[in-house]
Amino acid sequence: MTYCVGLRLDAGLVLLSDTRTNAGIDNVSVYRKMFTFEVPGERAMVLMTAGNLSVTQTVLAKIRHRMANTEASASESILRAESMLEVAEIFGRTLHQVSLDINSKMKAMEQQASASMLLAGQRRGGQPRLFLIYQQGNFIEATDDTPYLQIGEHKYGKPILDRVVTPATSLEDGRKAALLSMDSTLRSNLSVGMPLDLAIIPTNEFRIATHQRIEAGDPTFSQMSEAWSQTLRDGFANMP
Amino acid sequence: MTYCVGLRLDAGLVLLSDTRTNAGIDNVSVYRKMFTFEVPGERAMVLMTAGNLSVTQTVLAKIRHRMANTEASASESILRAESMLEVAEIFGRTLHQVSLDINSKMKAMEQQASASMLLAGQRRGGQPRLFLIYQQGNFIEATDDTPYLQIGEHKYGKPILDRVVTPATSLEDGRKAALLSMDSTLRSNLSVGMPLDLAIIPTNEFRIATHQRIEAGDPTFSQMSEAWSQTLRDGFANMP
């Protein structure tokens, strides 16, 4: 399983993912699920992936192959695409094609592979945008009404987001909310696990200002997790 | 959808269910999902149901038919069964048979009906017990390590239970925890809805001491819900 969450705040984009991957309950590994793409001062983008690893790795390999091609067109390379919408279309198209290809083989064995992605970023001349891209290649976008999107195990971490995140939330509070949302998920679902990857893209800076790996036992994260537990227990004890 | 939760505390059993039933998103009704069975001073039992209404209603009709039969044996009537384990076996067997019967018809139309149940109670001479009964007729039981069980939409309401419920929790705190767990679920999943049914069976009293319907707009519940939101928001704001 996986948990990835993205916030689209007025102040910028906050992205957080876990790294646990499993093939069956007895085969658990650490794989990066967050990938950054940056032309500093011009565009900054973060992709987060959930689902079948063979699908998401193949999509990334194809995307990178086209990024490296100096003759790729704007509709082929995410570094040349003229808007975040066009970047979302490139990822959507690639995800759709790879899924179709892999599933045509899986179906013969009565299996199937699914995957989804969160794409966040801003290009000079455009707004910060956050998309959830489905396996079929279509996507939805975060709005002021629903300023966050999640993929993977989304339920445990949703209540805190619903209560505290609005477009006006600061980047610091957004980071805190994303980490607490992850903390609730880590506690309730063993198939979501440390370390975590965190990235922040402040609005109109066109760069990834924060890109941090948070390891198991990280003192700041542990302290925050413990403080939140204490807040909940105290709040519960003091309820009328 | 449905959310039902049961706590097996040293002080007694706390049971809470919602009442929303839907056949498709455009056909939403109120149906009771909590049923009580009592021989005051001798045994007190509460059943909560989730899943296909035709399955759970048929199971209840069969159970009641056998309860009304004055010649029913201990292995047939839940009012004569010699232990809560035997009551769980009666419900399990009936659920299994009804499921098989209904699914044999559903399969012909490539559909299926599933259901599950929480059974809580105490009989004089035995301990308070709480079971989760699966459609196949087998069941698991709450223990000191895991003193609560849930059916239906269980994820949103789990974090609060994990943090505050232990066997030593008082009945008052258990009631509060169950209501807050329901509150989180109501906020996040529209297919779980008011009114609620609450029941409490104190240990060694062999009676249902509390059996209460909490209507939409109930002032005490609304106040608790608002106080909890405020606690979470304040706690978040004051986090280091």
Q: What is the pLDDT of residues B132-150, one digit of tens each?
A: 999 999 999 999 999 999 9
pLDDT at B69: 93
Residue A150 placed within a domain: yes
Closest CA to B52 of B76, B31, B36: B31
- What residues of chain B have any CB closer than 8 angstroms to a CB in chain A? 155-156, 158-160, 162-164, 173, 176-177, 180, 184, 187-188, 223-224, 227-229, 231-236, 238-240
Average pLDDT over residues B79-103: 96
B46 beta partners:
B36, B120
Residues of chain A contacting residue B176, judged by C-beta atoms under 8 Å apart: 236, 239
Q: What is the pLDDT of residues A42-92, one digit of tens each?
A: 999 999 999 999 999 999 999 999 999 999 999 999 999 999 999 999 999
Q: Are B227 and B72 in contact (CB under 8 A)?
A: no
* Residue B235 to residue A235, Cβ atoms within 8 A: yes
Return mean pLDDT, chain B.
94
Average pLDDT over residues B198-216: 97
Average pLDDT over residues A210-237: 94
Q: What is the pLDDT of residues B45-54, one digit of tens each?
A: 999 999 999 9
- Residue A240 pLDDT level (bands cut at 50, 70, 90): confident
Residue A23 placed within a domain: yes
pLDDT at B38: 96
Task: Report the 10 Å Cβ neighbour count for B161.
Answer: 23
Q: Is B66 helix (H, G, I), strand (E, B) or coil?
A: helix
Average pLDDT over residues A17-38: 90
pLDDT at B190: 85
Q: Are B13 and B128 in contact (CB under 8 A)?
A: yes
- Residue B189 pLDDT level (bands cut at 50, 70, 90): confident
Measured between CB atoms, which of B173, B228, B233 is closest to A164? B233
Residue B38 placed within a domain: yes
Q: Is the pLDDT of residue B180 over 90?
A: yes
Residue B240 placed within a domain: no
First-residue to last-residue Cα distance in chain B: 38
Average pLDDT over residues A217-227: 95
At A196, give phi and psi (nearest 5°): -115, 155
Provide ipTM, 2 decimals.
Answer: 0.81
How many structural domains comprise chain B? 1
Residues of chain B contacting residue A227, judged by C-beta atoms under 8 Å apart: 239-240
pLDDT at B8: 98
Residue of A nearest to B180 (CA): A236
Q: How far is CA A8 from CA A68, A111, A212, B28, B85, in A?
A: 29, 35, 18, 34, 52
Q: What percent of chain B has pLDDT over 90?
A: 84
Residue B9 placed within a domain: yes
Residue A240 placed within a domain: no
> How far away is chain A from the Cα of B156, in angstroms, using its nearest Cα?
5
* Residue B239 to residue A176, Cβ atoms within 8 A: yes
- Residue B106 pLDDT level (bands cut at 50, 70, 90): confident
CATH of the domain at B102: 3.60.20.10
| Domain span holding position B222 | 3-235
